[in-house]
Every structure is written in structure tokens, then in C-alpha cells.
Structure 1
Amino acid sequence: MNTAELLADAFGRIQEDVHGAVEGLTPAELAEQVEPGANTVAWLVWHLARVQDDHVAGVTGSEQVWTAGGWQERFGLPFRAAATGYGNTSHQVAQVTVDDPALLTGYYDAVHAATLAYVATLRDADLDRIVDERWDPPVTLGVRLVSVVNDDTQHAGQAAFVRGVLMRRR
């Protein structure tokens, strides 16, 4: 297994988890906060997709799928185009709603496709490239991609947990 295959496998698992968390839930369930202030499945999936989109576009120097693919308009959220959900309040979390669960999975799938297209080009030596000098030590491409996988995996797991709570309430 090489670098590209390893990363494709990791991101593929996230895609499976995203679909597993979303599919079969109603728009109301996707937007339900299981207790006051809790993150919703809709927000968790939107946020993890936004972070992956933002970070991958950042290392490739390309426009984010969010804006390039018209997803910002389709979601119609009251946030700036660059918003990823980082630091959102409970009120902002509750504003992430969808009329159709396929909007969430469709956006993630588009981000996933862009991610796989990029990682297919990577070689082991590429992972040492510095992509962010604002940190000490500076962040390499390898560290950034592992960070995205880690963040997305945690949020997908949280979405699956919330889904489980919602399913038990049915």
C-alpha cells in the first residue's frame, strides 16, 4: 500500500460513516439537538465536510467545492462563504438544517471526490512539504491530512452516536 492508497482508504471510511449517520433520518431528526446546546447530525456532517473541503483546497490551491460546486447556495445557510463551523454557538449549530438528507451526503461526496482526486497524485515525499508556517513547528502536508482524517473521524463518530440516540427515541 502506498501513500495515496492509504489516504484513500482512510477517507473512504469517513464517507461510509457519513452515509451511515445520515441515511434514514428525517430532516427533523438531522436537526434535532438531543439536549440543549448539543451538536446535531446535520451540523456535524456539514462541519466535517466543510473542514475537509477547506483544508484540502488550501493545500491544493484550488477553490473549495462549497463555492465552486454551488453548495453554499443550495444549503442557504446564514454564514459567510468561508465558514466551516469552527467556534459555532449552539444557536448557529441549530441553523444548519436541510430539507433533504441527500444534500448533506451529496456535499460530502463531492468533497470526497475532490479529496480522492488530489490524494491519488501524492507520493511519499510530498508529505514533507510545508503547507502552513503559522505553527511551530510548521505543518507538513502529511500532518495536515492526518489532522483532517482525525477530525472527520471524530465528528462522524459523534454523528453516529447522535443517530443512535435518535433511533432509540423512535
Structure 2
Amino acid sequence: MEPSDLLIDAFGRLPGTVRRALHGLPVDQLNHRPYPEGNSIAWLIWHLARIEDAQIAAVAGHQQAWTAEGWAHRVGLPLAVEDTGYGHTSGEVAKVQVQSAEVLQGYYDAVNARTMAFVSGLTPADLDQVVDRSWDPPVTLGARLISSLADCLEHAGQAAYIRGMFAGGSMGS
């Protein structure tokens, strides 16, 4: 198995998890924070999409879907266009209020399509390339992709957990 096959499989698991977390959720549940300082499903899915979008665009050398495809306008959050949610305060988390699960799903699907296109052509040598020298040790493309994937999976799991808190919110396996 080639490394790109592993990355395709790994990143390919995210859309289903995101879809199950969002499917059929009314807006009040989508934006509900399970405790005063907690993250909502909307924030978690938006943030994981923004992180994947920003990280992949940076290493692929292209614009983010958020701006290039007009998702920032469609989602319509009162945040700076470059905001990914990293380091958000509770007040900033509260600003992430979306009007439908479908718009978040659409954005995530657009991001994931770009990710899949990028990782499908990677070679083992590509994964060893240093993409960020600001860390010690410097970060390789492979490490950046795994780091991004881990963050996305963590937040997708958190969204699934919150979804399960709602009556009838079974996520299945």
C-alpha cells in the first residue's frame, strides 16, 4: 500500500462522520453549547473544516475553499475571513451560529474534495519534504498532514458525542 492510499483512506473517513453529526439537526441543536464554555456542533464542524482547509491549502500552494469558493460569504459568520477558530475565546465560539447544517456540510465536502485531490498524488518523497521550519524539529509534509487529520478526527468525534446527547441522536458505527 502506498502512503497516499493511507491518506486517502484516513481523510476519506471524515465526510461520513461529519455527515452523521450534522444530518437532520435543527438549528437550535446545531448551535447548542452543551455547557456555558463548551463548543457547539456548529463550531466543531466549522473549525475542523477551517483547519483542514487552511492547512491543506498552505501545503498545496492554493487558496482556501473558504475564500476562493465563496464559503465565507455563504456561511456568513461575524468573524475575520482568515479566522479558523484556533485559540477562540468563549465569546468568539458564541459567534459561530449557523443557519443550517447543509451549509456546513457543503463547505466541509468542498474542503475534503480538495484534500483528497492533493493527497492522492503524493509520493513517499513528498511526505519527507519540510514544510515548516519554525518548529524544532522542522515539520515535514507527512507530519503536517497527520497533525491536521488528528485534529479533524478529534473534533468530529466531539461533534458526534454532542449529537449523541440529543434524544434520538444515535450516530451508529
User: TM-score with structure 2 length normalisation?
Assistant: 0.94
Identify the residue that residue 107 of structure 2 maps to in structure 1.
107
Matching residue's letter, 1:82: E
Q: Percent identity?
A: 50
Identify the residue that residue 90 of structure 1 maps to in structure 2.
90
Asked if the contact 2:4–2:123 (Cα under 8 Å) also holds between the matched residues in 1, the reply is yes
- CA displacement at 1:165 relative to structure 2: 1.0
Identify the residue that residue 74 of structure 1 maps to in structure 2.
74
Matching residue's letter, 1:46: W
CA–CA distance in 1 between the matches of 2:149 and 2:15?
11
Q: How many residues align?
A: 169
Identify the residue that residue 10 of structure 2 maps to in structure 1.
10
Asked if the contact 2:51–2:148 (Cα under 8 Å) also holds between the matched residues in 1, the reply is yes
Matching residue's letter, 1:155: H
Deviations 1:64-87 (A, max 9, x none): 000001000111111111110011
Residues 68, 74 of structure 1: alpha-carbon distance in 2 compared, 3 angstrom cutoff: same
Identify the residue that residue 161 of structure 2 maps to in structure 1.
161
Deviations 1:109-155 (A, max 9, x none): 00000000101110111100000011000000000000011000000
Asked if the contact 2:77–2:98 (Cα under 8 Å) also holds between the matched residues in 1, the reply is no
More helix by percentage: 1
Asked if the contact 2:15–2:108 (Cα under 8 Å) also holds between the matched residues in 1, the reply is yes
Asked if the contact 1:34–1:166 (Cα under 8 Å) also holds between the matched residues in 2, the reply is no
Stretch of structure 1 that moved more, 120-129 or 159-168: 159-168
Matching residue's letter, 1:42: A
- CA displacement at 1:98 relative to structure 2: 1.7
Displacement over 3 Å in runs of 4+: none
User: TM-score with structure 1 length normalisation?
Assistant: 0.96
Matching residue's letter, 2:72: Q
CA–CA distance in 1 between the matches of 2:160 and 2:80?
27
Matching residue's letter, 2:62: S
Identify the residue that residue 63 of structure 1 maps to in structure 2.
63
Matching residue's letter, 1:6: L
Matched, 1:118 2:118: yes
Asked if the contact 2:129–2:141 (Cα under 8 Å) also holds between the matched residues in 1, the reply is yes
CA–CA distance in 1 between the matches of 2:167 and 2:9?
28
Please give the secondary structure, in 1, of the residue aligned with 2:33: coil
Asked if the contact 1:25–1:101 (Cα under 8 Å) also holds between the matched residues in 2, the reply is yes
CA RMSD of aligned residues (A): 1.2
Identify the residue that residue 41 of structure 1 maps to in structure 2.
41
